Amino acid sequence: MEVSKNPDRLNYSTKAKQLLDKVEESNYFGLANRGGAGVSRSEIFLFAMAIGAESKSPTVIKNPYAGGLVLEKSIDSKTKAVMYAQYISQLADPENELDEISKKGEVYKLAEQYANTGFECIEEYLDKKTPETLLFELFVELDEQYKELNIDKA
């Protein structure tokens, strides 16, 4: 998939689209969009991106869904901030390569690939775990992450 220099949306795979259709029906983990009344698509994308980023394995979107997931105008500021921060954090010399973030296409691409990984994980959760199970497993993960990050000592 050719990277657009100035993308106007966040894309996701057709498979991820199908996953979200299922989620929409079951409201798995409270992720249903419900025509905008539930969780926003930008938030869904960010959650998937977080799951994917945690795995540190961005995956290429092989079969992108035409139309994308979130239009540029609907990307909320938090999602946008995280996308750029994540991009900066993996630059080899971020202090001297900051202008790299002006390459919006690259920033979006990385984010989409992490999200793609995340959607894969979510699909697995959906198949294997009840939301409650996922909830308490995630609590355990969060406890560990919090501990590892030494946040309270920061």
Which residues lie near another protein (CB under 8 A)?
29-31, 39, 43, 46-47, 49-51, 53-54, 77-78, 80-82, 84-86, 88-89, 94-96, 98-99, 101-102, 131-132, 135, 138-139, 141-143, 145-146, 149, 151-152, 154
Sign of CA dihedral 34, 62, 9, 91: positive
Indicate the residue among 71 and 85 with the shorter CB distance to another protein: 85
Q: Write 63-66 long-range contacts (CB < 8 A, 24+).
A: 63/13, 63/14, 63/15, 64/1, 64/11, 64/12, 64/13, 64/14, 65/11, 65/12, 65/13, 65/14, 65/16, 65/17
Closest contact distance (angstroms) between CB of 66 and another protein is: 27
Closest contact distance (angstroms) between CB of 67 and another protein is: 24
Closest contact distance (angstroms) between CB of 60 and another protein is: 21
